[in-house]
Amino acid sequence: MKIGIIGAGNIGGNLTRRLTALGHDVSVANSRGPHTLTELAEETGATPVPVEEAARGAEVVVITIPVKAVPDLPSGLLDGAADGVAVIDTGNYYPRERDGRIAAIQDEGLTESRWTERHIGHPVIKAFNGTYAQDILDRHRPAGAPDRMALPVAGDDAAAKERVRALIDELGFDTVDAGGLDDSWRQQPGTPVYGLRGGVDEVTKALAEASPERPEDFRA
Ligand SMILES: NC(=O)c1ccc[n+]([C@@H]2O[C@H](COP(=O)([O-])OP(=O)(O)OC[C@H]3O[C@@H](n4cnc5c(N)ncnc54)[C@H](OP(=O)(O)O)[C@@H]3O)[C@@H](O)[C@H]2O)c1
């Protein structure tokens, strides 16, 4: 499958490694340009591209950049993507450490993924946001393994969500349907499922136990 990855840091880099290892055709972009991605390209066989070209022909696009950088993404980011492209958002809002104050999230109560979705003008599927980057490389397991981890996946587009869940299964993880994007606060930072290394039952329970109140340190 043709996959575009926007962001080549901890998460984007490791998704590039695993998805190329599985035989996918991966294009990868960062903010500084393809000339800064030659090492990752040599290691993985992925194609480094400018961010404007990352989605070209892609059936899945992963946006994995700091939330504060989302408004810097070029307009028309998804022009040229395959019809029905599924867009994964891995983002977490860290107002104090990184992202600063975003009024729509803090005051209007938008989930960070809904906020990202509005910026890019395309539905997103929230996944991997509570997954340690290193676990993408180290903790994948075949289906049915007793210690296979499960990842929550939230989003409104049923077909896109199914494609993303199938890809995560291929990457070596179970998934739990975490509802629509307005439910995705259940997997944001500070919730029981965030960073949980559990299976389907534990993830399902943690999602149910989440409180919509964000901890005080998630306000800037
Ligand atoms: N680290 C984790 O374990 C983890 C786990 C789950 C979710 N997350 C979330 O996933 C997102 C990415 O995290 P990360 O740790 O992978 O971040 P990171 O290591 O800081 O990497 C960020 C990447 O985004 C790129 N970038 C920034 N602005 C961009 C722009 N305008 N256009 C294109 N690329 C841009 C950066 O490119 P340059 O280097 O060229 O600036 C860099 O490659 C964050 O929202 C984070 O909260 C992280």
Q: Where are the domains of the chain?
A: 2-218
Ligand 1 contact via 8 beta carbon (within 6 Å)? yes
Ligand 1, atom 15, lies closest to the CA of 10
pTM over 0.85: yes
Distance CA 46, CA 146 (A): 32
61 Cα: distance to centroid of ligand 1 (angstroms): 14
Distance CA 204, CA 175 (A): 10
- Amino acid identity of 103? A
pLDDT digits (tens, 9 = 90+) for 17-68: 999 999 999 999 999 999 999 999 999 999 999 999 999 999 999 999 999 9
Give ∠ CA 108-111-113 in degrees, rounded to 5. 135
CA 90 to ligand 1: nearest atom: 10
**Strand partners of residue 154:** 126
DSSP type of residue 215: P
Does CATH number 3.10.310.10 belong to domain 2-218?
no
Residues 116 and 89: beta-carbon distance below 8 Å:
yes
Report pLDDT for 215.
77
The secondary structure element, H or E, covering residue 5 is strand 2-6
Residues 93 and 112: beta-carbon distance below 8 Å:
yes
| Sequence-ordered list of residues with C-beta below 8 angstroms from that of 83, at least 6 positions apart, any chain | none
Ligand 1 contact via 9 beta carbon (within 6 Å)? yes
Ligand 1 contact via 72 beta carbon (within 6 Å)? yes
Ligand 1 contact via 127 beta carbon (within 6 Å)? no
